[in-house]
Chains A and B, each alone.
Chain A
Amino acid sequence: MINKAKVQVSEENPSSYLTDEYVSILFLLNLCKLSEKNLIESKHKGISVNSLKRHSLGKKYIEHTRKEAIIERLKSDHLVELKIEKKRELLFLTEAGKAHLIKQLADANFDFLGTVIGTRLVNTVLDLMRSNVNNSPSIPVSNKITSYDNFQVLVMAIYDRLNKEYNYGHLVPIYKIRREIGDQVSRLDFNEWLLEMQANDILQLQGGSIEDGAKDKMEDSIYTEIGGYRCYAKKLNKN
């Protein structure tokens, strides 16, 4: 869910009211736009880290450190990947990143902010949405996670991010983790591997109910035969 956080617009820094999520979407969208163009003009589907600094984010000024942090996060979530081609550092939009982008654009809570927006950007959005309408079951799933080790790294990255962003105090809802991971892992693998993480004392799964008791959130939590529902994950401090 994207927060339309138009809360405080600071005069010196007009972009400070943009949430990280919004900035991420704009960034992914720009990456998508450029890679579509590059596809025709060259063989690259990526974008150089340098050109990023110019193109980037709808011409809004975003502090360098914040931008770096956002890119780092997108990388750790496997939404973009960095490759080195001909001594140039290129960022690529992954299939998972594209799927994520489509999902976010389809979210009813997403609006473009501001008054003017570029034609090419809008066309990219249209292309994306059309490709998704015509071919809806094929939301790209090529970034399948097939091993417990990769799963564990991904889950912890998502856990840390959600915990920080939503200030969960180390009670991160399992349904949110499952939804963030999306189709990269099958439901059964998710259940199995999350329990494995618990058995390895990385996470403890706890809390038998969710605040609003919503059925879909319960379904996206974990259920075991003896323990019943577990709705939250908590990172264990290993001593």
Chain B
Amino acid sequence: MNMNVDQINELIKNHNPFAGQTIVKSHQIWENTFADVPTINNHASDAVFSALELINSGQRQSVVGITIVGDKGIGKTQVISRIRHHLQKENSGIFIYVSEYSGTNVKSVFLKRLSESMKKIGSLPKISQWQEIATLLINEASGKNLLPARYISYFTERPDFEKRIEEFNFEKRIQRILQVRSDINDLYLIKGILLTLIPKYSDYAVRWLAGQELTQAQLEAMDLPPVKDNAGEAFNQACELLKIISKYKTPVICFDELDSTDRDSSGLKLSHTVPSLGKDLSNSLERCILLFAMYPHTWQDDIKSLPRTEAVVDRIADYPQQGEPVALNRLNGDQILELVKTWLNNFYQKHNINPPDPLYPFTADQLKNWGRERLTVRQVLQECDKYWRSLTFSSEQSEHPVTDNITVTENTDNIIENNAVKENNLTKIAFTSELEEVNSKIDSLMNDNQVIIDALGFCFTHLVGKTIERFNIEKIEPLKINYCFKIFGTDHNTPITIGVAVSQYSNMQSLGAVLKQLVNYEKHKLTRGCLVRSKDTSPGARGVRQQLDVLLNEKGGEWVSFKEEHISQIIALRELYQNRADYDLTEEQIWQFASHEKIITENYLVKEILSAPPGKEPDNLTDEDADL
């Protein structure tokens, strides 16, 4: 569509393609929604592709370690996303993405991310990487060459489902697979993988493979043993699974975001534990590519200072040059031009418009000039965002011709107000981007006690000094129970101390242990215990039922349930707050937005935790075994 310049300017005023789009979120890595210019830093992606080529063609039968280093925002994650889509398109490997290591041991996190990555779509449409491997296992043992879709539709729910499962004869198939694959030690792992082909069980099987706990009923339905909850077992299981996978396709395992300065309980940073994990993987596996992404300083200061650093360095950076990481470069003028052109092209195509110039409203000189400073991708996008905003703000001003003094003040107020609205909009765009990321993995987050308690702690810390539901919040303190904190405050001048415990365990023993602590008001100096849990309990768990009875009826405690939408907003808000520098937002802007949208003050969970207990179980619980 051809539009005149005024119409295009109107479009520019109302839509800013760069706002809040400067961080590559992990769901964008999988979905390829972040515009990429394949020539930018292609030496890094090419290194991975050529290593893959060497391995796949049998010229190098081994594990290859590649480390890429570059400043914040330089485009490391973008290069990783490019690798993911290359593998998908060329059907040349399995892509595993590991980031967000918070919480437990890094080995357990690795197993979890491995299984979650395998749940993503691979080279065949709508078929997960797990289902692809499951099919290859069955096909190899049976000498057939069927597509995954055949198996999946065979197992799709219908009246004769049970009969079909029986006829398929899992036990016999697994025995046959074990005959062909004598390298596999654990028949249950094969079973777990095969079960991903059954739509009804697929999600449970993925969780089981990830080392996540399941209810007794789920385990019995699939005939799988309980998971062993320890880091050593998790690592062994990850290695076994990778061994099974790598027989058919080369896994490319990307460890991203290794630059956190936080230390674990033994005083180690991620940049210590993850490369050590990489070294162990390198020793245990026969065929894979290990990719690490970090800041140059993390490499220089943390990795090179590890004890026996050569052993680690040689394994995590042995290609293309032994012991040397691949450094990403900042963008020069020509590359900035390419990048902006690609973004604008997407924008104008989306709005079905032919711009007067592919770079409009930027000029080639302007962009080339930025190149002199050698910027990162993020800096370029931020600068585009700023320039775009400056265009819309100034055009606003020119629309209100100033005639006399009175109008000047009015107009200035208008402009300031308009600008405040626009700033809120920018925060909203950034918030929406975080919310999308949260929603893309909400199933996993619903089971993540750590993430939920962190989001709640973040909200209540912000509420200190404020009154919600007649409850005046005074301070927040940690509590020595897993995934807990204490809220001090007053309700109608009565001092109250609430112990808040998030407990999404499927395992009734773990839940029982938390409840036992939560009802011990004397020990933890509480006046009210509050269990935050969206799932029902197993009917057979008598100990848990007893403790719940004590909490709700004897101790005047509370059980608050919640739905996905009750946590997604506050998790996204916390993420936005933590990434605010990357969005070029200030704390004030975020709080202003949060209060404008009432994200915290009107949050269902926040209000329920503070309100007086109703003395009964919530009625909106979910039954985890309902689908069985």
Contact = CB atoms under 8 A, between A and B. Distances in A.
Interface stretch (A3-11, A40-48, A125-133, A197-205): A197-205
Contact of B375 (A168, A171, A227, A236): A227
Nearest to A222: B373
Contacts of A207: 71, 295-297
B379 interface: yes
B555 interface: no
A99 B216 CA distance: 80
A176 to B, nearest CB: 15
A226 B300 contact: no
Contacts of B332: 201
Nearest to B383: A226
B329 interface: yes
Interface residues of A, number: 21
A171 B373 contact: no
A194 B374 CA distance: 12
A118 interface: no
Contact of A169 (B72, B300, B330, B372): B300
Nearest to A224: B373
Interface in A204-239: 204-208, 211, 224-228, 232, 234, 236
A204 B371 CA distance: 12
Interface residues of B, number: 20
B297 A171 contact: yes
Interface string A181-202: 0000000000000010011010
Contacts of A227: 373-375, 379
B46 to A, nearest CB: 13
A171 B296 contact: yes
A226 B377 CA distance: 12
A204 B300 contact: no
A101 B308 CA distance: 40
B372 A206 contact: no
Contacts of B379: 226-228
A226 B295 CA distance: 20
Interface in B312-368: 327, 329-330, 332
Nearest to A198: B374
Nearest to B386: A226
A201 B332 CA distance: 9
A199 B370 CA distance: 11
Contacts of B373: 195, 198, 224-227
A206 B296 contact: yes
A178 B327 CA distance: 24
Interface string B371-410: 0111100010001000000000000000000000000000
B301 interface: yes
Contact of A195 (B301, B304, B327, B372): B372
Nearest to B295: A207
A228 to B, nearest CB: 8
A195 B374 CA distance: 9
A234 B327 contact: yes
Given A205-B374, A208-B71, A227-B373, A171 B300 contact: yes
A47 B174 CA distance: 87
B387 to A, nearest CB: 10
Interface string B51-89: 000000000000000000001100000000000000000
A199 B372 contact: yes
Given A169-B300, A226-B383, A234-B296, A204 B370 contact: no
A45 to B, nearest CB: 43
Contact of A168 (B299, B300, B327, B372): B300
Interface in A100-143: none
Contacts of A236: 329
Given A206-B330, A226-B383, A169 B304 contact: yes
A234 B71 CA distance: 12
A171 B304 CA distance: 13
A226 B370 contact: yes
A230 to B, nearest CB: 9
Contacts of B330: 204, 206
Nearest to B72: A208
A195 B371 CA distance: 11
Contacts of A171: 296-297, 300
Nearest to A168: B300
Closest 8 CB pairs of A and B: A227-B373, A169-B300, A224-B373, A206-B71, A199-B372, A226-B383, A171-B300, A198-B374
Interface of A: 168-169, 171, 195, 198-199, 201, 204-208, 211, 224-228, 232, 234, 236
17 contacts: A169-B300, A171-B296, A195-B372, A198-B373, A201-B332, A204-B329, A204-B374, A206-B296, A206-B330, A211-B301, A226-B370, A226-B375, A227-B379, A232-B296, A234-B296, A234-B327, A236-B329
